[in-house]
Amino acid sequence: MVSASRNEKFRVEEKGITFARVWFLSQSWVSKETITVNRRLDEWVKLEQLDLDSVEAVVDEKVEEKGATGLKMTRHQKRKIDETHVEGHEELDAASLREHEEFTKVKNIATIELGRYEIETWYFSPFPPEYNDCLRLYFCEFCLNFMKRKEQLQRHMRKCDLKHPPGDEIYRSGTLSMFEVDGKKNKVYGQNLCYLAKLFLDHKTLYYDVDLFLFYVLCECDDRGCHMVGYFSKEKHSEESYNLACILTLPPYQRKGYGKFLIAFSYELSKKESKVGTPERPLSDLGLLSYRGYWTRVLLDILKKHKGNISIKELSDMTAIKAEDILTTLQSLELIQYRKGQHVICADPKVLDRHLKAAGRGGLDVDVSKLIWTPYKEQS
């Protein structure tokens, strides 16, 4: 039996990980939290998987100095607790809140089964307490109900009459379909989708009040049904001009252009609304990369084809991209200068060609002629 305090650290050498914090929670299971690397590598491991013969214990001096009392909860910590919606957290003291925040840093569900894929998860998701002892969950790929055991899923699939997400199909092109799901009309589906998404998004706020959101679920369709590949959500009414609250492409479908397709789709909806839009912040690491790539490609394509001068406002009107996002993107490409009190776009053709080549392919295109949609209006 190896004994160690909760705050003890060990140096390990495994798959490029050079430093890890190991929490001993029982004689059987431990939590391995990687330090200074992406938290996707955090995981639960069996105690026998650890080789502790030559590890170096390092005491966390900050923890020792402060102890377990006298801790003040920061605004960031409180927000993190609020996001995971812990029942009864008002009665917890600061030390307990800190302990909870530490615990939720490590993913609780190791893998899920969704359709024909077994997917390794990345992050913690606050499933109901009865699922705390599950390392694997089984999802119905159509209604997104989740179960503890394979046989439960098999029984459910014999009864589930859905072959696509609930809601309205607003786009179909080839084998791709997009469904608009109203969180108010399909509350359980919306909540289950949020549970699922949180397994792969580190910075996502888990929304239990899904009534306020619309979910746009992208599917690959075949003779067995419409299989979810990703989605984005948006608030029904956003004072900040957000046209997207959360975006996810499921791991088996990544690197196929679906992320940029979802982003492009959100902007096509903004154009239909005659509005400019921007994604809600903070963006995940993958989300930021996808958005910067999309903005770059769209703006470069226009600048390449456009003859004469063009302003940031004109670009915004053409693309529905918020002016601030256009400005930061062009600045990152060094295509903009500040002259005589205003920003001037400097689009040298050779520079544009170089940036276009570096930007790579643009991903899947949205065929606007296949989009059948009217903006959301609250029913009286």
In terms of DSSP bridges, do strands 20-24 and 342-345 run parallel, antiparallel, or are they unpaired? unpaired
- Mean local confidence (pLDDT), 76-86: 37
pLDDT given at position 187:
97
What is the chain's mean pLDDT, rounded? 81
For residue 109, tell me if it sits in a domain.
no
pTM (2 d.p.): 0.77
Q: Is the pLDDT of residue 134 over 70?
A: yes
pLDDT exceeds 70 at position 186: yes
Residue 158 lies in a domain: no
3-state class of 345 per DSSP?
strand
pLDDT recorded at residue 3 = 35
What is the average pLDDT across 119-143? 94
Residues 172 and 48 in one domain: no
Note whether residue 112 is domain-resident: no
Active-site entry in 220, 280, 334, 378: 280
Is residue 291 assigned to a domain?
yes
Q: Domain ends where: 67, 88, 113? A: 67
Structural domains counted in the chain: 2
Residue that terminates a domain, selected from 67, 87, 110: 67
Say how many residues make up the chain: 380
Contacts for 225 with CB less than 8 Å, ≥ 6 apart:
141, 142, 162, 163, 164
**What per-residue confidence (pLDDT) applies to 43?**
64
Q: Is 33 a catalytic residue?
A: no
- Say which residues have a Cβ less than 8 Å from residue 118's Cβ, sequence separation at least 6: 111, 112
Query: Could you list the residue range(s) of the whole structural domain that residue 4 is in?
Result: 1-67
Q: Does 361 share its domain with 241?
A: yes
Residue scoring higher pLDDT (93 or 175): 175
Largest CA distance in the chain: 75
- Nearest CA to 129 out of 113, 105, 107, 108 is that of 108
pLDDT, one tens digit per residue, over 120-130 is: 999 999 999 99
Distance (Å, whole) CA 321 – CA 301: 14
Residue 351 covered by a domain: yes
The mean-pLDDT minimum among 10-14, 182-186, 293-297, 362-366 falls in 10-14
Report the Cα 20 to chain-centroid distance in Å.
25
- Among residues 317, 359, 318, the alpha carbon closest in space to that of 335 is found at 359
Instruction: Map residue 226 onto helix, strand or coil.
Output: strand
Phi, psi at 29, each rounded to 5°: -120, 145
Per-residue pLDDT tens digits for 197-241: 999 988 766 656 899 999 999 999 999 999 999 999 999 999 999
Amino acid code (one letter) for 324:
E
Q: Are 64 and 74 in contact (CB under 8 A)?
A: no
Residue whose C-alpha is closest to residue 83's, from 100, 66, 62:
100
Alpha carbons within 13 A on the beta-carbon side of 345:
24
Distance in angstroms (rounded) separating the CA atoms of residues 133 and 63: 29
Q: What is the pLDDT of residues 297-309, one digit of tens each?
A: 999 999 999 988 8
Q: Which of 25, 42, 67 is the last residue of a domain?
A: 67
CATH of the domain at 171: 3.40.630.30
